[in-house]
Structure 1
Amino acid sequence: MRKPLLYSGIIGLGLLVGSCQDDKDAPPAPELLNTRWKLVQVEETPLSVSSYSDTFRSYIRFTTGPNRTEGLAPCNSFGGTFTLSSSPGVLSISEQSSTKATCPAQSIEDKFLAALPRTVGYEISGNELRLYDASNTLRPLLIFEKAE
């Protein structure tokens, strides 16, 4: 009779110790990675949902392998790198290289691309990705929706 009690005690202790271990080895934010995130808001400016808008197809994707960003701004394609911390919600994005075409939505593109390297954190809620800078954790710099 002591064996089952001892055995269950060992299992319980293992579960307790296992739940206290550091999550450094856990892959951070799998839902963030390799997903196409459609841009829906730049700072306080919501983007048009019309397929006739220059902003309609704008997106970002965080790819693994080397940690790379790729995407389409209203006028140009872009790419760079990103770093995820082992701490939840911590993300940094490099300056992005882009092609150099202009379009009527150039001011939105400039704000979008300038906001990316200011990012220090992110939050995913349902199908929405919000990127934040260090100065304001209440109002996101950029808002994206998961593209279906």
Structure 2
Amino acid sequence: MRRFLPLAFFLSSALLTGCAKGTEPMPAPVYLLDQRWVLTEIEGHAPSQQPGSSATDLLLSSVDSRDSGRAPCNRYGGNYQLTAGTAQLTFGDQFSTYAACADQDQEARYFQLLPQVARYVISNRQLSLYDAEHAQPLLVYKAAE
């Protein structure tokens, strides 16, 4: 058994060296995916919450690159794309149900902003989504408990 220790040590060292930081693209943070995010800001303002409206939320599935959620009036979903090793996040076409409610204008604006998202930042259980041009986030969410 002793004579195999140097070989085992060499192989494990080679494997660990191949995984050195910076040599492979880093995956999205685990806490970004499969986490329910609740909208707290839309273009710098708190979202309105009319009677009969739902809190807007977002869920990014780690299984199939699909997003889903609830907007003030409707359920929605579609595809998203993460670029490995970066903070780039984009959303494809979204579908939604067709119910009407008092927050219809806010929901329409939310659906206009999602396709503009180009990157994300997570800090202190807060997810901020930015477009490619502005320093202020378009949408800000908090991690649901």
Q: Which runs of structure 2 are paired with 1:43-58 in the superposition (5 Å)?
A: 43-48=43-48, 52=51, 54=53, 56-58=54-56
Equivalent residue for 1:5?
none
The reply to whether residue 37 of structure 1 matches residue 37 of structure 2 is yes
Equivalent residue for 1:19?
20
Opposite residue 143 of structure 1, the aligned amino acid is: V
Q: TM-score, normalised on structure 1?
A: 0.80
Q: Which runs of structure 2 are paired with 1:1-148 in the superposition (5 Å)?
A: 18-24=19-25, 26-48=26-48, 52=51, 54=53, 56-136=54-134, 138-148=135-145
Give the percent of matched residue pairs that are identical in Structure 1 and Structure 2. Answer: 30
Count of residue pairs the alignment pairs up: 135
1:25-47 deviation per Cα after TM superposition (whole angstroms, max 9, x unaligned) = x4322111000000111113212
Following TM superposition, by how much is the alpha carbon of 1:84 offset from its aligned partner in structure 2, in angstroms?
0.7
Q: CA RMSD in A?
A: 2.4
Equivalent residue for 1:7?
none
Separation in 1, partners of 2:67, 2:21: 33
Separation in 2, partners of 1:113, 1:142: 11
1:9-54 deviation per Cα after TM superposition (whole angstroms, max 9, x unaligned) = x899987774354232x43221110000001111132124x68462
Following TM superposition, by how much is the alpha carbon of 1:104 offset from its aligned partner in structure 2, in angstroms?
0.8
Opposite residue 139 of structure 1, the aligned amino acid is: Q
Query: Which ranges in structure 1 are unaligned for 5 or more consecutive residues?
Result: 1-9
**Compared CA separation, residues 81 and 17, structure 1 to 2 (3 A):** closer
Query: Which ranges in structure 2 are unaligned for 5 or more consecutive residues?
Result: 1-9
Opposite residue 140 of structure 1, the aligned amino acid is: P
8 Å CA contact retained: 2:52, 2:101: no
Following TM superposition, by how much is the alpha carbon of 1:112 offset from its aligned partner in structure 2, in angstroms?
0.8
Separation in 2, partners of 1:128, 1:118: 19
**Compared CA separation, residues 52 and 127, structure 1 to 2 (3 A):** farther
